[in-house]
Amino acid sequence: MENNFNFSSQKGVSILLAVLIMTVVLGMGLALNVFLVQQIRIMEDVGHSVAAFYAADSAIEAVSMAGTPTNISGTLPNGSSYKVFVKTGGQEDCPVELNYCIKAIGTYQATKRAIEIKY
């Protein structure tokens, strides 16, 4: 019985298989990395949004505690800032039957959030 199997034709198959498996694993790792980086950026943006919202909320609270609401702006210790715009009843978009329309815009980094109250 004669064996015609030639071992020299099988050289490099295991290396090729290893390279293919490593390429697939590397591709999966890179895809996971891209996904996680996007999620981290989204979470940072949510944090900035919350800080901007609370800056606007603080401004509304400060203006509503004053006797007569006025336009103000300022900066909070965390680096966020706010601007408040007050209109009396009958001005522009503020109906006559209301006393005041107050809009506060809070800013943190590049994120802005606004709160508007009418009373």
Hey, where are the domains in the chain?
9-118
Q: Over 80: is that where the pLDDT of 12 sits? A: no
Q: Which pLDDT value is given to residue 69?
A: 85
- Sequence-ordered list of residues with C-beta below 8 angstroms from that of 76, at least 6 positions apart, any chain: 55, 58, 82
Q: pLDDT digit string (tens) for 38-81?
A: 999 889 888 899 999 999 999 999 888 877 888 999 999 999 99
Strands 81-88 and 100-108, how do they pair?
Answer: antiparallel
Tokens of 89: 């009843």
Q: What angle do CA 61, 82, 118 make, to 5 degrees?
A: 45
